[in-house]
Amino acid sequence: MGSIPRQRETTYRSTHLPGSLPDARSVAWTSLPGNPLAPAAARRFVRAALAEWTGLGLPAADGFTDRVADDAVVLVNELVTNAVVHAGTNVELVCHLEEATDEDPAALVVEVSDHHPARVVHNDPAVRPGPSGPGGQEFGRGLHLVAALSACWGVTYRTGLKTVWARLAVEGVHPALPSGPADGAGQALQRGLRAAEILAPVPRRTAREYDSDWINRGALSFLAEASDLLTGQFDEDMIAALAAQLLVPRLADWCAVWLEEEGAAPRLARVWHQRECSIEELRRRVEKEPPQAPGSVRGGPVPVPWPALDGGDGAAVAYRLIAGGRGLGTLVLGRAGVARMPDEVTGLIEDFVRRVALAVAAARQYTRQATISRVLQRALLPGQMADIPGVAKALVYEPRGQGVAGGDFYDVFPGASGSWSFSLGDVQGNGPEAAVVTGLVRPWLRLLAREGRAVGEVLGRLNGLLLDDAVETAEATARLAAAAAGAPGVPGAGIAGAVGAGAAAGLWEAPQPRFLSLLYGELVPFPAEDGGGARCTLACAGHPLPLLLRPDGSVRPAAASQMLLGVVDGVTYESETFVLEAGDTLLCVTDGVTERRSGQRMFDDADGLATALGRCVGLSAQGVAERIMREVHDFSPTPPDDDLALLVLQAM
């Protein structure tokens, strides 16, 4: 352990103590290398610090319990692992014991700092860091565990330094200890011996049998905490890692998790041992002899051979991971020094395994849906937008659901006779129905524009195509209705009647109306020798109006609102033409921007979008896009509940 260096001293004071520094005896500091050995070293360091404080007889140390020690070790392991995986620099670890006050209980404060302040701790399930520990991959869990274990936590950024700190409440009380000398020295000695027995990392605590009282008292709490951690995880390997580390060392000495895919051999997704030095040996042994748990066993324990680990003996059992009647894998765990697993323990683990199986099934379903959606998204949106001579552009597109195809779409492409076309649209609804319409509209728009049709004529023709497609879809649905009902049709009822009756009977889903709001325009750039700029022709069909920002700060709508597409046949759409002069900025958005809500207010109430655009004078196209989107996100503390799309065109 070391004293607090000056840089750490400043961090600690600003993060926790506005006044003087803490008692030096209650602070422990160390520096760790940014490599896979750091988490294990950090765990040993924390245990040693807790033992030393207990031996010193610090008042707050009276509250140290098994739970406090375990939580502190898990929390430090997680923070140091994240720092190593996501930063890779040296890591500074500070532990401080805060005495109780009138307002707050005693607490253990942990700070972990790295030297990559621009890097953040990832919570994205798609992030898969590389190997960071013996025995395979170490998947960081972001700050989920930190939030679950600590009373409060935070992140402090400084030049060249990022610090994540967490505060653990110390409220437990030791059981009565044997009395000692009257001067209290004996009590301090007993506290030190108790802490050494509880906290010493090697050898493990003296062969402790399962505590049935703890099983009875803590089972529901353990299962609830496990469910909270597993819920919402979208990566099955992350779930396997969490499952293993939740079981070890609480209920087992080691754990191995196999995952199965239909038509593929089981793969060993995770191996975990309470002693890291044994992980590699355990992995080699279990890979040679995968468990052969009967497929008919629905998650119950099945005894399996002990892998002769470390030359010892013990009990090992396998549990099938089953959800929806399908086998998803096998979880094997073992406990040294026992002849068999007690029934109360195997019952608790069986409940836990069911939760793991459900989490794996949900993660696979999410992965399949996200993959399909990403493929759709790539097909529905342009791979890249065309560059328009003399016009800078910027785009922001944020679908509502991560990885889910949205109803908003955009495009910029070469038109006919030296013109460039651009569009920003919003299909009613979202999901597959919206994706179908988007898949039709984009190629139709390109085809109509390249035929040399005028802007208004393009919208009129597109409106007719949408209505024709809706009629064809309704006719096909009516035919399906008749087939489902076992009758050739409903004479005289018509398409609408057949569709409505079938939907009411629950035979099928009635087709959704294919309404579309669309902003469509055409740009013809002027030669640079003529001063630049471009002639812009616009038409707006039920879409938020585009706004034109002049260099003097004035803002005005650049088009008039007209009927939605796909509603009424035979509508004639009018276009407006103006000159986009050098320095002018055209802002086009979807209703996810204008209708962003904060309570009862919307972002565009009282011309909020025009006001925000007026503050963007002098910014580049990219700067305007970033400024508007920042104001949209800052407008409400809750995440957006609709797709967001924004296109900026700026004449140069």
Whichever domain contains 181, its CATH number is 3.30.565.10
Tokens of residue 392, six digits:
């800078």
pLDDT grade for 562, boundaries at 50, 70 and 90:
very high
Flag whether 470 is in a domain: no
pLDDT at residue 136 greater than cutoff 90: no
Is a pLDDT exceeding 80 seen at residue 593? yes
Six-digit token string for 12 = 């600690």
CA distance 110 to 46: 9
Q: What is the structure's pLDDT at 523?
A: 95
- 302 pLDDT higher than 50: yes
Res. 455: pLDDT tops 90: yes
Residue 496 pLDDT > 80, yes or no? no
Is 576 in contact with 617 (CB distance < 8 Å)? no
Averaged pLDDT for residues 624-648: 92
DSSP-assigned states of every residue in 580-615: E-TT-EEEEE-HHHHT-EETTEETTTTSHHHHHHHT
Average pLDDT over residues 45-55: 88
Strands in 197-325 per DSSP E:
254-259, 267-273, 302-304, 314-323
Query: Averaged over 397-423, what is the pLDDT?
Result: 82
pLDDT attached to residue 143: 66
Q: Give the CATH number, domain containing residue 409.
A: 3.60.40.10
Q: Are 20 and 164 in contact (CB under 8 A)?
A: no
User: Is 504 inside a domain boundary?
Assistant: no
Q: What is the pLDDT of residues 206-231, one digit of tens each?
A: 334 455 555 555 677 778 878 888 88
Name the least confident of 77-91, 322-336, 469-483, 500-514: 500-514
Cα separations (Å) of 244 from 115, 251, 255, 312, 446? 31, 10, 6, 21, 53
Is the pLDDT assigned to residue 392 strictly greater than 90?
yes
| Domain CATH code at residue 301 | 3.30.450.40
Q: How large a percentage of the chain has pLDDT more than 70?
A: 75
Distance (Å, whole) CA 468 – CA 250: 64
Give burial (CB, 10 Å; 0-12/13-18/19+) of 216.
exposed
Please state the rounded mean pLDDT for residues 352-361.
92
Decide if pLDDT at 574 tops 90.
Answer: yes
- Residue 373: its pLDDT value, please? 73
406 has a pLDDT exceeding 60: yes
Please check whether residues 332 and 401 belong to one and the same domain.
no
Would you put residue 149 in left (φ > 0), alpha (ψ -120 to 50) or beta? Answer: alpha
| 40 and 169 assigned to the same domain | yes
Q: Provide the number of structural domains found in the chain.
A: 3
Based on the domain organization, do 451 and 362 belong to the same domain? no
Whether residue 424 is found in the same domain as residue 339: no
The residue-averaged pLDDT of 274-282 equals: 85
Contacts of 446 (CB under 8 A, 6+ apart): 411, 413, 421
Residue 503 lies in a domain: no
Is 321 in the same domain as 457? no
Do 186 and 280 belong to one domain?
no
Mean pLDDT of 259-287: 86
Q: What is the pLDDT of residue 484?
A: 56
The verdict on 451 and 566 lying in the same domain is yes
Q: Which residue range forms the structural domain that includes residue 110?
A: 6-199
The answer to whether residues 265 and 304 belong to one domain is yes
Is 535 found in the same domain as 455? yes
Indicate the length of the chain as a whole number.
652
| Residues 578, 537: Cα–Cα separation, whole Å | 7
Residue after which a domain boundary falls, among 150, 176, 199: 199
Residue, of 483 and 341, whose pLDDT is higher = 341
- At 38, the pLDDT band (50, 70, 90 cuts) reads confident
> Is the pLDDT at 122 greater than 70, yes or no?
no
Find out whether 64 and 174 touch, Cβ atoms under 8 Å.
yes
Is residue 368 in a domain? yes
User: Can you tell me the distance from the alpha carbon of 318 to that of 22, in angstroms, rounded to the nearest whole number?
Assistant: 50
500 compared with 50, residue with greater pLDDT: 50
Q: What is the pLDDT of residue 138?
A: 38
DSSP 280: H
Last residue of a domain, one of 167, 199, 231: 199
Q: Which of 174, 199, 224 is the last residue of a domain?
A: 199
Distance CA 59, CA 26 (A): 10
pLDDT confidence bin for 584, thresholds 50/70/90: very high
Q: Would 26 be classed as within a structural domain?
A: yes
Q: Is residue 315 in a domain?
A: yes
**Average pLDDT for 383-396:** 90
- Checking if the pLDDT of 178 tops 60, the result is no
Query: Residue 203: what pLDDT?
Result: 38
Same domain for 70 and 86, yes or no, is: yes
Could you tell me if residue 473 is inside a domain?
no
Q: What is the pLDDT of residue 482?
A: 59
First to last CA, the chain: 61
Q: Which two tokens stand for residue 625?
A: 């896009």
Q: Give me the mean pLDDT over the 451-466 stretch.
A: 93
- DSSP string across 616-650: TTT--HHHHHHHHHHHHHHT-SSPPSS-EEEEEEE
Q: Across the chain, what does the average pLDDT equal?
A: 78
pLDDT at 594 over 90: yes
* Residues 351, 417 share a domain: no
Residue 89 binned pLDDT confidence (cut-offs 50, 70, 90): confident
Low-confidence winner among 140-149, 341-350, 457-466 (lowest mean pLDDT)? 140-149
Residue 109 predicted with pLDDT over 50: yes
Same structural domain, 85 and 176: yes
Q: Has residue 389 been placed in a domain? A: yes
